[in-house]
Amino acid sequence: MCAARLIHLVAHRGNAREYPENTVPAFASALSMGLRFLELDVHLSADGVPIVMHDHRLQRTTGHTGTVFDLRAQQLQQIDAHEPQRFGERFRGTRIPLLADVLALLEGRPEVTLFVEIKRASLAQFGHDQVVSRVLEVLRPARTQCVVISFDLAAVYRARQLGGLAVGWVLSDYDAHSRLKYEAVQPEFLFCDHTKLPAHGTLWRGPWRWAVYEVETLALARSLAQRGANYIETMAVHEMSEALRNLQDGDPAAPRGT
């Protein structure tokens, strides 16, 4: 592996292996371990407020029925997002955060970058203009530290039109058709699940930077970095950061960076 190649770890939904995903404790934990890159998911509430949650349905992470579109932001903030199926009652009292709540963690931390994924279900529910504009409005005070990303290329393009911050496209497929689309939009970042990439070969070159997600081992991270990945997105924040730190301590030529 090239000795100069950096590996930047991105905390996927925060430290989501040890804390309920997409919650303030999960993001604070990742920051406490020295990570400088966070990723989260955003939907709009019934009254158009950006909230942090991956699923638009409440059941998996809260145990409640219904969707985020059924309730106003104030109501959603009273619901525990403690993932009872995974953690039982351990994190009871951990609330669904607003995007603004997570953004507050960036105050006084200019080195931290936040990747904000706009979810397609909200785009379908409220329309691109409303969703993108509401998200950008919240992000504006920290826009130099934020990157808006989405599977929906029209949302990425709308964010680019409104201007003021970097954008990224999350690829559904790594193929020639997708390549034509992103070469036209020229996002600063491309995201892709590692299982959708070819097994071998250099990733497509361009002005963008690659972020590859669902990575669980350092060996895979190093292989992807060698192929051109700049960022490795993982839920296994603790394990990956420790493995990377141990590698650096034992090998001065090892890839660096969290």
Residues carrying an active site annotation: 12, 54
Helix axes 153-162, 176-185, angle to 10 degrees: 10
- Choose among 123, 159, 164, 168: nearest CA to 140: 164
Output the six-digit token pair for 185: 């939009």
Distance CA 117, CA 103 (A): 14
What SS3 class is residue 167?
A: strand
Helix axes 218-227, 237-250, angle to 10 degrees: 70
Distance CA 197, CA 89 (A): 38
The C-alpha angle 92, 98, 102, rounded to 5 degrees, equals 90
Asked if 70 and 44 count as a contact pair (C-beta separation under 8 A), the reply is no
- Choose among 234, 222, 251: nearest CA to 7: 222
Distance CA 209, CA 25 (A): 28
- Choose among 249, 248, 250: nearest CA to 5: 248
- Choose among 207, 206, 177, 178: nearest CA to 192: 178
